[in-house]
Amino acid sequence: MKCIFCDIVAGKMPARTVYEDDQVVAFHDINPQAPTHVLIVPRAHIPRLQDAAEEQATLIGRLLLAANRVAERLGLDRSGYRVVINNGPDALQTVYHLHLHLLGGRRMSWPPG
């Protein structure tokens, strides 16, 4: 099964990587919705949140810690930023490889659309 984010993780597709460790990769979104828009993905192919196994609890936590690292690296830790997971059809998930969106550099609105 073809997966764009698996290809990026494997280095088969180019991406502007901003952070990586043994379990997580973060790269700039190709179609940014804010001045800073970074995607944070697990190296493991987990399609949706409900596909995460109990043993992957640490990995799920590592995604949030990676968001923290990315925000520091890109100078968003003081101004703030939003972290979003679009999970499933109603949330308009388009790539079925679990990812966090980190959005920052502008004032957000609430509620989200």
User: Which sequence positions are flagged as catalytic?
Assistant: 99
x/- track of binding to ligand AMP for residues 71-100 (CB under 6 A): ---------------x-----xxxx-----
Spatial contact of 92 and 66, defined as CB atoms under 8 Å apart: no
**Which 14-73 residues touch ligand AMP, going by CB under 6 A?**
15, 29-31, 39
What is the distance between the alpha carbons of residues 63 and 40, in angstroms, rounded to a whole number?
A: 7
How far apart, in Å, are the Cα atoms of 2 and each of 40, 56, 95? 19, 22, 11
Which amino acid type is present at position 29? D
Give whichever of 39 and 74 is closer to ligand AMP, judged by the CB atom. 39
Comparing every residue's Cβ against Zn ion, the nearest one is 3
Residues of this chain that bind Zn ion (CB under 5 A): 3, 5-6, 45, 97
